[in-house]
């Protein structure tokens, strides 16, 4: 059997791109958004469910690796 070259895929994620530009900016932005929502008197349970829904939809749509 001759050597076959198996093509490799490079996966690029939003987090990886942001970390290359400014490490930790995505978690910082998410934290500041949650603090801002809490100061606007949004329920913490609503924020948790919102993050869950956004994360699930982002994963299903392929936006959040």
- pLDDT at 16 exceeding the cut of 90: no
Mapped onto helix, strand or coil, the DSSP state of residue 9 is: coil
Does any domain span residue 51?
A: yes
Does any domain span residue 18?
A: no
Give the confidence band of 23 by pLDDT, cuts at 50, 70, 90.
confident
Distance CA 14, CA 59 (A): 12
pLDDT on residue 40: 97
Number of domains in the chain: 1
Give the confidence band of 1 by pLDDT, cuts at 50, 70, 90.
low
pTM: 0.65
Name the residue range of residue 30's domain: 26-60
How far is C-alpha 4 from the geometric centre of its chain's CA atoms?
36
Distance CA 35, CA 42 (A): 10
Distance CA 22, CA 42 (A): 29
The residue behind tokens 């603090």 is 35
């Amino acid at each position: 059997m001759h050597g076959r070259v198996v093509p490799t895929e490079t996966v690029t994620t939003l987090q990886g791109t942001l970390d290359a530009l400014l490490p930790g900016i995505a978690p910082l932005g998410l934290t500041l958004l949650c603090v801002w929502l809490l100061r606007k008197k949004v329920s913490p349970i609503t924020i948790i469910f919102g993050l869950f829904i956004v994360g699930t939809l982002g994963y299903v749509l392929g936006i959040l690796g």
